Structure 1
Amino acid sequence: MQDWLNGQPLDPGLQRDRGLAYGDGLFETIAVRRGQPRLLDRHLQRLATGCQRLRIPCDLAQLEVEVRAYAALLGEGVAKLLYTRGDGLRGYAPPAEPEVRRLLLASPTPAYPPAHAIEGIALYPCATRLATQPLLAGLKHMNRLEQVLARGEWTSTDYAEGLMLDQDGRPIEGVFSNLFLVCAGRLQTPALDRCGVAGVLRGLLLDLAAQAGIQSEVRPLALDDLLGADEVFLCNSQYGIWPVRRYAAANWSVGPVTRKLQGSINEILE
């Protein structure tokens, strides 16, 4: 009996894919500019870390060749790399020798309003909280249901992003961004050892801060740390840095550390 999709026979190449069945895989969303994949080394390193933790085989050299070739054809836009454990029989047990499946999907460059980066944004207080799972913390695995639920909480264009807390009420990240605070000139970002996604731009920003002589710290942050910060901003490899101007009853101005890092990142992402 052949399986069906939307009332029609299903492509045999997808009917047993564990990424589709269980979210058993990882993904990377790579900005492409002038035929070049931006921050590719960092994207591939994060994927390799995820594959090691999930025990999925990974050939980085092959992936790099494929992504670069795909980006050259795409020219401008976003290349989404889906990397699954491949096919499996019914049941959760992974195959002893998985044959991974690699998908590259193209989409246009996101058209975010320039005002988000210049003037800053308002941050929505999401009720959906991130589950604690240290084994998956930091990884960009294929199960993003928490983010889907959180993003469905608001429709108003007054908010460009939402803040997600963990089960203990600590700020972790935006729905599709990483979170940074500036307190007395010192850069701070939440530890991601229990939940959250370790964004590639987050790692780059920590490196750039060190090069610029800006002290930085990765640690568990309380909501009071956020509310008492001098500057707050979000980052993502697609849009760079967005200053945060408002969250709940708290308000901030766009500060000098945010602007300095924004300038450094923009030079790299252009």
Structure 2
Amino acid sequence: MVERAAIEGRLMDGDARFALESRYGHFTAMQVRDRRVRGLGLHFERLDEASRELFGGGVDRSAVLASIRTVLGDDLRDASVRVYVFDADPPRVVASAAPPHEPLKGPLSVKSVVYQRYLPHIKQAAGFQQAHINRTARREGFDEALLTTEDGLISEGSITNLGGFAGGRLVWPDAPMLRGVTMRLLERMDVPQERRPLKVADLTGFDQVFLCNSWGVMPVGAVDGVPLPQDAGLVARLLGHYEGIAWDPLD
């Protein structure tokens, strides 16, 4: 639940938050620890690219930082922060803060769902469909939903990216998707990598499958009730790379 929100350096009341979060726009999500963020430059890049595509102009980094700092105030050092850019003239930058979120405890169980997002490379505000898919999967006892095409081609999770190790390579789905900040940080890992078309049935042949988002990196133990191989060494290597990524200061 959102606890605070700020627009371009000014705190907002609850009614204003609701009105803005229902508008046309895009956002990025990050975990703040000790007022630091992993991949801050990638968050700026995401916001800037999406703003240029949707609104015809980039985003003001100083406005982004001002809203983050304001929403954290002097007391919050750890938080889940979202930065939205909403349609206006000029576009408005809004940051919200909620309690910090740790990775889900794995191995996770995921369910495949036939659904493809419009403009999947943009992290869209007011994502009713994905929220509904995620909530439905959780009610059915799964940790996350895996989005696929009609013929079973995997793109991404409802709020995550999927990757896996197979034959000594780190493999990502070759499909339209949002390349999350955590995914992009893992792409810097010193291991052979490739993108290729993946179907759900292919995952049983992987040495280790995982999900990642701003919460962290989470191993997957089963898909549609079918167990997947687990390799503790690969998970440790993956986590070692992720946890070794420097945190960027917000102040």
Does the pair score TM above 0.5? Answer: yes
Distance 1:11 1:170 in 2: 41
The question of 1:241 aligning with 2:217 is answered yes
Question: Offset of 1:157 from its aligned partner?
Answer: 8.0
2:186 is the counterpart of 1:205? yes
Q: Which residue of 1 aligns with 2:205?
A: 228
CA contact (8 A) 1:36 1:68 kept: no
Is the alpha carbon distance of 1:76 and 1:139 closer, same or farther for their aligned partners in structure 2, counting shifts above 3 Å? same
Written as runs of structure 1 = structure 2, the 5 A alignment for 1:65-104 is 65-67=65-67, 69-70=69-70, 71=72, 73=74, 74-86=76-88, 98-104=89-95
Q: Is the 8 A contact 1:36 1:72 kept in 2?
A: no
Query: In proportion to residue count, which structure has more strand?
Result: 2
Give the Å deviation of 1:152: 2.8
Counterpart residue number, 1:263: 240
Given the alignment, which residue of 95, 106, 109 partners 1:122? 109
Structure 1 residue identity aligned to 2:221: R
In 1, are the aligned partners of 2:207 and 2:231 still within 8 Å (CA)?
no
Offset at residue 149 of structure 1 (A): 2.4
- Partner SS for 1:268: coil
Q: Which has the higher contact order (CA 8 A, sep 6+)?
A: 2
Deviation at 1:20, TM superposition (A): 3.0
> How far is 1:111 from its partner?
4.8
1:93 aligns with none
Structure 1 unaligned runs (5+)? Answer: 1-9, 87-97
Tell me the CA shift for residue 53 of structure 1: 1.7
CA distance 1:167–1:56, shift in 2 (3 Å)? farther
| Identity rate, percent | 23
Q: Hey, what's the Cα distance between the residues in 2 that align with 1:100 and 1:80?
A: 16
- Spell out the pairing of 1:20-39 with structure 2 (5 A cutoff): 20-21=22-23, 24-39=24-39
How far is the alpha carbon of 1:14 from its aligned partner? 8.2
Residues 37, 67 of structure 1: 8 Å contact kept: no
Please list the CA deviations of residues 34-92 of structure 1 after superposition, one character each: whole Å capped at 9, or x if unmatched.
Answer: 11233211111011111122134333332353155234633111111111112xxxxxx
Distance in structure 2 (CA, Å) of the matches to 1:36 and 1:72: 14
- What is the aligned-residue RMSD (CA, Å)? 2.7
Q: Write the letter of the residue equivalent to 1:234.
A: L
Gaps of 5+ in 2: 1-13
Aligned pair count reads 231
Distance 1:172 1:50 in 2: 19
Counterpart residue identity of residue 53, structure 2: R
